[in-house]
Amino acid sequence: MSGLSLAAHLAVADHRHPVVVVDDGSTPLETRTWASWSSRPGLLDAAASRWFDKIRVHVNGRTTVLRLGSYRYRVVRGEDLAAVVRRYTDPLRHFTCQDGHVDGIADGGVIVDGQFLRARWVFDSVIGADMQPPADAQLAFRGWRVSSERAVFDAEIPTLFDFRTPQRKGASFVYVLPEDAHHALVEHTSFVAPGTPQDEAAQREALAEYLTEVAGADDYEIEREEHAVLPLCAAPASRRHGHVLTIGALGGLLKASTGFAYQRVQRDSAAIAESLQRHGHPFDLPVAPARFRLFDGVLLDVVTREPAQLERAFGALFRYRTAEPALRFLDEATSVPQEWQLFAGMPAATYLAAARHRLVR
Ligand SMILES: Cc1cc2nc3c(=O)[nH]c(=O)nc-3n(C[C@H](O)[C@H](O)[C@H](O)COP(=O)(O)OP(=O)(O)OC[C@H]3O[C@@H](n4cnc5c(N)ncnc54)[C@H](O)[C@@H]3O)c2cc1C
């Protein structure tokens, strides 16, 4: 996702040097879908197959439908992203896609299928730096693409989080991304401490229970299953090594408190292209204020110790008439007074103690 996104942004920035995108196909694009929210038009918007202007949340015993204000929630499928990127990156503009396995990266080039490919800049989303900061938590999720005999899904409103699922195995919620009334991606998501083994049986049981008890889908078929354990890290990744810049999840673009990366990668890709154009190098990248990393780390510390706190925190952040204040905060675009307002309703002593502990450590 980050390699394709960067290629498109380089193309529109009129980058005149040859660009090679290397992928070994180990994660087929047809299996990938990214959802994200955004309040501004983006270069790759044409890749979105669905747009939503409302979300549903179920928290603290209540279901609420929230408008998104100036935001839109959208879904991008892997093959649609590749098709839109291809429009910008034809070979006439010096872009090539190469099927190949990256064995290693060195300053000055990449080893692809045993051959050295010389490159002035390398953007690495597959190998990563030798030293990465330790994970603060992990996001364990398992999703089913289901087909239900009865029309049980609301085709117009995705469910961002629904806490009607057991909390025994970590701070957990279910996420529902509908395609139509009969089809949806239903995902069980848990924030757990680093190194916690994935309990596949419990995840499947929770999904089945949600589908029958909450969604009301007694007769359904599982068409596809996806699962992952994403390491969540509040500390900044070490991104620059000589002429190599890590991008995507390895570049620390996963937001530690949500596990979302798509929109952050789009912003990062635009900034890399702009830096190359302006300075002749890709390293002049904006850095968000450090307090957002502290907030992410503190939330992870609190919810991995006390799972019930996740529902309280999400309930506080999404308590307004629209989801816009919460989404703006998660986008790291709020001011300090706005953040204090958002935090009211969270147990101050718990969070302040966790913040103090983290700062001292
Ligand atoms: C199942 C899943 C669902 C997710 N859903 C969302 C979502 O809805 N919204 C969101 O914002 N974030 C989501 N994320 C988080 C994040 O956005 C994705 O992980 C995203 O794809 C990260 O982009 P990337 O470029 O770092 O890695 P990837 O998109 O995984 O790209 C890495 C590419 O490298 C290739 N590759 C791997 N090893 C090699 C090698 N040695 N040589 C050559 N090629 C190689 C793979 O084939 C792959 O195409 C999700 C993550 C997962 C795992």
pLDDT tens digits, residue range 8-44? Answer: 999 888 767 889 999 999 999 998 999 999 999 999 9
The neighbouring-strand residues paired with 238 are none
- The Cα–Cα gap between 100 and 235 comes to 32
Residue 198: the pLDDT is: 87
| Fold entry, domain 137-232 | D-Amino Acid Oxidase; Chain A, domain 2 (3.30.9)
122, 260, 269, 327, best to mutate for ligand 1 pocket (most atoms within 8 Å of CB) = 260
Q: Ligand 1 centroid to 1 CA: how many Å?
A: 6
DSSP bridge partners of 346:
344
Sequence-ordered list of residues with C-beta below 8 angstroms from that of 201, at least 6 positions apart, any chain: none
Verify whether ligand 1 is closer than 6 Å to residue 2 (CB atom): yes
* pLDDT lower than 50: segments of the chain: none
Beta-carbon contacts of residue 346 (< 8 Å; ≥ 6 apart): 312, 313, 316
What integer pLDDT is reported at residue 285 of this predicted model?
96
Q: Whose CA is nearest to atom 24 of ligand 1?
A: 248
Q: What is the dihedral of CA 83, 86, 87, 92, to 10 degrees?
A: -160
Q: Which pLDDT value is given to residue 89?
A: 84
Give the count of alpha carbons within 13 A of 82, CB side only.
14
- The pLDDT of residue 93: 66
Its pTM surpasses 0.85 = yes
Task: Collapse the DSSP code of 164 into the 3-class scheme (helix H, G, I; strand E, B; otherwise coil) and give the result.
Answer: coil
Q: Whose CA is nearest to atom 6 of ligand 1?
A: 34
Per-residue confidence (pLDDT) for residue 203, from 0 to 100: 97
The number of the ligand 1 atom at minimal distance from the alpha carbon of 5 is: 25
Distance, CA of 283 to CA of 299 (rounded, Å): 29
Fold of 2-133+233-279: FAD/NAD(P)-binding domain (3.50.50)
DSSP 209-277: HIIIIII--SSEEEEEEEEEEEEE--SPP--EETTEEE-GGGGT-S-TTT---HHHHHHHHHHHHHHHH
Q: Give the start-to-end residue ranges of the domains of the chain.
A: 2-133+233-279, 137-232, 301-360
